[in-house]
């Protein structure tokens, strides 16, 4: 099963690169859905291992929560939000896609060299998985600041949260269930607030391009 975890770790990182290469908001949402599905599978596999060895079911419960919230509910909410705002065909990203992908590759290399110093205290197999998960955090942050539309920035925030969750799961074998549950509640609250802000931005500026907020400057 551990081999599947390693494969899923790579797939999660690749999904972040695919997300960066996407040009349409609907593609952002679907890529996030796929990435969350990979994370749910990883949590499920680790949950089965923990249930067999320690009798804990925390990660299995988290796996179900991820499937319900991040694979089904949040992508559906974002699709409905985007369907109700006015759509204009306009460039969403600040830099060209090849440049964005190159920067993401640089972030992975940077993370590898930073975490490589921990090889004396952490097994190499775990370090490589941590490199993948921490790289997802960096790519999510870079995605968020490289997109103009509010929904794209929301997706970037969600990818950062995905990377943080995977890093925590790999580094600590999962946080206590009550802590994870509180984080999910905070996440849902944040997404609902962001969804409301998307509607308000669209109502005021007839666009969800956050660059339009510059008009508020006196």
Tell me which residue of 173, 160, 148 sits closest to 36, measured CA to CA.
Answer: 160
Q: How far is CA 93 from CA 109, 114, 181, in A?
A: 23, 28, 33
Query: pLDDT of 82-103, one tens digit each?
Result: 877 655 545 566 778 889 999 9
Domain segments of the chain as ranges = 1-86+147-212
Nearest alpha-carbon partner for 19 in 156, 121, 116: 156
Distance CA 206, CA 187 (A): 27
Other residues' Cβ atoms within 10 Å of the Cβ of residue 168: 16
Q: What is the rounded (10 degree) CA torsion for 205, 208, 212, 213?
A: 90
| Reported confidence tier of residue 178, pLDDT bands at 50, 70, 90 | low
pLDDT for 187: 67
pLDDT of amino acid 103 = 93
């Amino acid at each position: 099963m551990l081999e599947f975890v390693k494969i899923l770790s790579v797939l999660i990182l690749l999904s972040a690169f695919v997300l960066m290469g996407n040009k349409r908001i609907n593609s952002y949402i679907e890529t996030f859905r796929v990435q969350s599905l990979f994370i749910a599978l990883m949590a499920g596999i680790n949950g089965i291992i923990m249930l067999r060895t320690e009798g804990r079911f925390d990660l299995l419960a988290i796996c179900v929560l991820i499937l319900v919230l991040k694979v089904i509910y949040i992508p559906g909410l974002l699709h409905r939000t985007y369907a109700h705002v006015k759509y204009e065909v306009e460039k969403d990203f600040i830099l060209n896609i090849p440049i964005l992908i190159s920067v993401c590759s640089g972030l992975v290399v940077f993370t590898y060299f930073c975490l490589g110093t921990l090889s004396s205290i952490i097994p190499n197999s775990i370090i490589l998985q941590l490199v993948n998960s921490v790289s997802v955090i960096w790519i999510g942050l870079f995605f968020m600041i490289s997109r103009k539309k509010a929904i794209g920035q929301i997706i970037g925030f969600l990818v950062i949260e995905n990377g943080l969750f995977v890093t925590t799961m790999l580094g600590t074998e999962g946080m206590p269930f009550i802590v994870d549950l509180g984080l999910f509640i905070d996440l849902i609250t944040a997404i609902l607030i962001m969804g409301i802000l998307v509607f308000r931005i669209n109502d005021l500026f007839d666009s969800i391009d956050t660059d339009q907020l510059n008009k508020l400057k006196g």
